[in-house]
């Protein structure tokens, strides 16, 4: 089962548009991403590059700009049409578009393979990850994205407020319209946001992959790469430190980064701030609470006839989290306090503008990681 693809196809959408009215700025954003992944743009020049799950082609257009031999794999028909239209507009003529899933794709190996925005939440991700690995040449690079419930927590609370607000609206388009009205004003607080509100609402608040059982986080991704692979870089945030001497060629990056992840993943919870001192925070207890809230939220969403008891239980958990964090993380505590108020408010009377801390918070809901397929010396 592939909930993203099924959802996009069911509604005839590809809700991953980017504002590229200033294309140079768009390229600069992508350049910064790849810089953090250890991949300066010169690496793309004349390289064989495969982008899997291209969406509307906004990111692929920058790869073409950097002079690579571009191939794409995209199974969603709406996205395929958008790619062809965008590339026509931008006069990009040299490219290969394979209209299929990556599972069905049989092709040559590439210098760089990129799979952004779908791997963490698809159910056959082990099969897909194996396929992606097999498509990378020796000393080539694989880029994937990861997610973590810590980074999804703030969005999950917005998602819950959204589902409470649209529970009595039967039609999908009407739900989207109501949610856009509710959430669009606050997206301006998400620094660097380049997606339309309508896409954000459909992808973050309504798409069902958000609730998949076992999400691929950075630690699991690193552990799933065998000895042939090493970590190259990481973004959103670029939070691993590397104190190894360059002559220590046997240094175990994977072990070090997995250890760091356990502590540092707390920093995913709110976007846009510097590293938080977690010495007084019981990160594993916070993670447990966040996961419990996740289970309750999913149970609430899945109910045909909504039951208030789930909301009460979520509020109890939020209260415990608030007590735990009110001294050491005041920003998150303020978000938690207002979230409890939002969830208590009668949905028809809810005006999110009255909750500035709820509105201005966003989580780091997606991380990027690059792996290099080691060269045999």
Ligand X SMILES: C[S@@+](CC[C@H](N)C(=O)[O-])C[C@H]1O[C@@H](n2cnc3c(N)ncnc32)[C@H](O)[C@@H]1O
Binding site for ligand X (CB under 6 A): 2, 4-5, 8, 14, 16, 52-55, 59, 73-76, 79, 101-103, 116-118, 122, 128
Least distance CB 268 / ligand X (angstroms) = 18
Report d(CA 222, CA 129) in Å as an integer.
12
Kindly state the tokens that stand for 196. Answer: 């339309």
> Which is nearer to ligand X, 102 or 359 (by Cβ)?
102
H/E stretch holding 69: strand 69-73
**Token pair 């649209």 is at which residue?**
166
Residue 45 near residue 68, CB atoms below 8 Å = yes
> Closest by alpha carbon to 64, among 106, 23, 105, 35?
23
> Closest by alpha carbon to 151, among 287, 18, 328, 313?
287
Report d(CA 110, CA 112) in Å as an integer.
5
Q: Is 241 exposed, middle or buried (0-12, 13-18, 19+ CB in 10 A)?
A: exposed
Kindly state the tokens that stand for 4. Answer: 């993203």
Least distance CB 129 / ligand X (angstroms) = 11
> Which is nearer to ligand X, 82 or 329 (by Cβ)?
82
DSSP state letter for 203: I
> Which is nearer to ligand X, 55 or 151 (by Cβ)?
55
Least distance CB 254 / ligand X (angstroms) = 25
Least distance CB 182 / ligand X (angstroms) = 22
> Which is nearer to ligand X, 18 or 339 (by Cβ)?
18
Least distance CB 238 / ligand X (angstroms) = 18
Report d(CA 90, CA 23) in Å as an integer.
10
Residue 74 near residue 14, CB atoms below 8 Å = no
Whole-angstrom distance between the N-terminal and C-terminal Cα of the chain?
41
> Which is nearer to ligand X, 123 or 341 (by Cβ)?
123
Least distance CB 162 / ligand X (angstroms) = 18
> Which is nearer to ligand X, 79 or 340 (by Cβ)?
79
> Which is nearer to ligand X, 8 or 261 (by Cβ)?
8
Report d(CA 234, CA 258) in Å as an integer.
13
Least distance CB 205 / ligand X (angstroms) = 14
């Amino acid at each position: 089962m592939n909930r993203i693809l099924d959802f996009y196809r069911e509604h005839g959408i590809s809700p991953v548009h980017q504002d590229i009215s200033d294309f140079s700025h768009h390229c600069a954003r992508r350049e910064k991403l790849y810089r953090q992944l250890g991949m300066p743009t010169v690496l793309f020049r004349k390289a064989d590059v495969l982008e899997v799950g291209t969406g509307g082609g906004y990111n692929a257009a920058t790869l073409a700009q950097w002079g690579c031999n571009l191939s794409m794999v995209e199974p969603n028909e709406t996205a395929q049409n958008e790619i062809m239209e965008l590339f026509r507009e931008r006069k990009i003529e040299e490219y290969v578009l394979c209209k299929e899933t990556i599972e069905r794709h049989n092709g040559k190996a590439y210098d760089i393979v990129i799979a952004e925005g779908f791997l963490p939440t698809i159910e056959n991700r082990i099969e897909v990850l194996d396929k992606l690995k097999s498509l990378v040449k020796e000393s080539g690079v694989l880029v994937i994205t990861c997610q973590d419930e810590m980074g999804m927590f703030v969005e999950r609370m917005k998602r819950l407020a959204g589902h409470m607000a649209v529970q009595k609206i039967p039609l999908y388009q009407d739900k989207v319209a109501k949610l856009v009205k509710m959430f669009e004003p606050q997206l301006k607080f998400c620094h660097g946001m380049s997606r339309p509100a309508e896409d954000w609402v459909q992808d973050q608040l309504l798409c069902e992959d958000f609730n998949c059982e076992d999400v691929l986080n950075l630690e699991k991704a690193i552990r799933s790469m065998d000895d042939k692979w090493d970590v190259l870089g990481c973004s959103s945030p670029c939070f691993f430190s590397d104190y190894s001497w360059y002559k220590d060629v046997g240094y175990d990056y994977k072990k070090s980064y997995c250890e760091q992840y356990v502590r540092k993943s707390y920093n995913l919870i709110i976007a846009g701030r510097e590293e938080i001192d977690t010495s007084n925070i019981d990160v594993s207890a916070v993670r447990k609470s966040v996961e419990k809230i996740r289970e309750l939220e999913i149970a609430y969403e899945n109910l045909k006839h909504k039951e208030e008891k789930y909301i009460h239980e979520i509020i109890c958990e939020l209260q415990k989290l608030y007590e735990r964090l009110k001294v050491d993380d005041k920003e998150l505590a303020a978000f938690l306090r207002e979230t409890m108020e939002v969830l208590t408010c009668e949905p028809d009377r809810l005006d999110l503008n009255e909750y500035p801390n709820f509105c201005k918070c966003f989580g780091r809901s997606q991380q990027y990681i690059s792996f290099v397929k080691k060269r045999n010396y």
